[in-house]
Amino acid sequence: MSLSNIDYSVLQVLPHLDSGGLVNGAVEISRTLSNNNLGSYITTSGGRRLHEVTRFGTEVIIAPVHSKNPVTIYRNISKIKKIIKNNNIDIIHARSRSPAWSSQYAAKKMKIPFITTFHGTYGIENMIKKKYNGAMINADKIIAISNFIAGHIKREYKVIKEKIVVIPRGVDLSIFDSARVREQRLIDISNKFDLKEENYTILLPARMTRWKGHNLLIEAVKKLKRNDIICLFVGDVQTKKQYVKELESKIKKMGLTNNFRFLGAQHDMPAIFKLADVVISASTKPEAFGRVVAESLAMGRPTISVNHGGGAEIIRDKMTGWLFKSGNVNDLCKKISMALDLNKDQRLILSEKCIQNIRENYDIKFMCDRTLKLYSELVKESKNYL
């Protein structure tokens, strides 16, 4: 018997099992369902994390739910209905728009609860895109991964607040724990990328795409006029070669070649966070949640975030980090200087507050427990257990 006092089976439907926030969420929920002896099923097109979820007991059913083709979406309805029937599914959870279209009709036909998770704002430039997004709204409950996303849903889709449940994404504190990062990991990374102890290290971990704020940090470093700063751009450089070339050209033109390193995609992010004197999230568009901010704070690092989106909810300005005005280079410079000017005792106090904030509010266990509580409530309602 589960912690909810009833047994039930959940079908999560998502486009793929490769990488990203929606995949991380699905994997963690699958693990928690299995740990609670509840039925855990995933329908997806495949992906490199497929074997990970099957190892802890989730059954994966492959289907082309990644497709945006209307014919395929229609055909997926019958596939999902069959999965529901054959596996006695009690609730279906869609994590993206194209799977949500098929899932909502399958859930309605099979008379089981249907929920969605809004992992982003999605495009709303025209009525066609907004209509396409509508599948995420046609649910019994909508999970918003931040208050920012909840506000977006209410504002853009006129959804009543009672239908929305805010469940922030969480940080895996067994991974993002400074005490667990051994010295050798730090030494290896420092040697690999020629990081000197006498320099201050500023970290901007983000996809290599224009709205992540790389240009803003380059301009800020130029204004700071300090030779003791090394900035690390962490993100896959292979998929955005032209953009990386533009950044490299700008850095060279500004005479900052010695101040920047392109590290590419990195797997040992806890160690890289621990090496950073300052971590920056400078996105020009609002982040849905602010994963970089949450993980950085979990590692106890001085963190600066733009003052919009989900990241601004996680930082307590001037208490666990700093917020700067969106697109404002001068304000970013000011906050970087404040972070770099901290003495050892101030850094220690800040670090303790950062870690406490994440442990109390953004532990991944909270996300999983709240999601399972929602599943349980909806299943009870549908089966008239209340």
166-189 tens-digit pLDDT: 999 999 999 999 999 999 999 999
42-85 tens-digit pLDDT: 999 999 899 999 998 999 999 999 999 999 999 999 999 999 99
Model pLDDT, residue 4: 56
Model pLDDT, residue 1: 42
pTM (2 d.p.): 0.89
pLDDT score of 21 more than 90: no
Model pLDDT, residue 385: 61
pLDDT score of 330 more than 90: yes
- For residues 40 and 71, the answer to whether their CB atoms sit within 8 Å is no
Mean pLDDT of 156-166: 92
350-374 tens-digit pLDDT: 999 999 999 999 999 999 999 999 9
Mean pLDDT of 279-295: 95
Task: Give 197's pLDDT tier (boundaries 50, 70, 90).
Answer: confident
Q: Name the residue with higher pLDDT: 4 or 130.
A: 130
The residue among 200, 211, 282, 199 whose CA lies nearest residue 240 is: 211
- For the chain, the average pLDDT equals 93
Q: How far apart are CA 86 and CA 107, in angstroms?
A: 14
pLDDT score of 17 more than 60: yes
Mean pLDDT of 274-281: 97
Which domains are seen in the chain, by residue range?
9-170+364-382 (3.40.50.2000), 178-361 (3.40.50.2000)
Model pLDDT, residue 166: 97
Mean pLDDT of 301-310: 96
Model pLDDT, residue 376: 95
Task: Give 338's pLDDT tier (boundaries 50, 70, 90).
Answer: very high
259-268 tens-digit pLDDT: 999 999 899 9
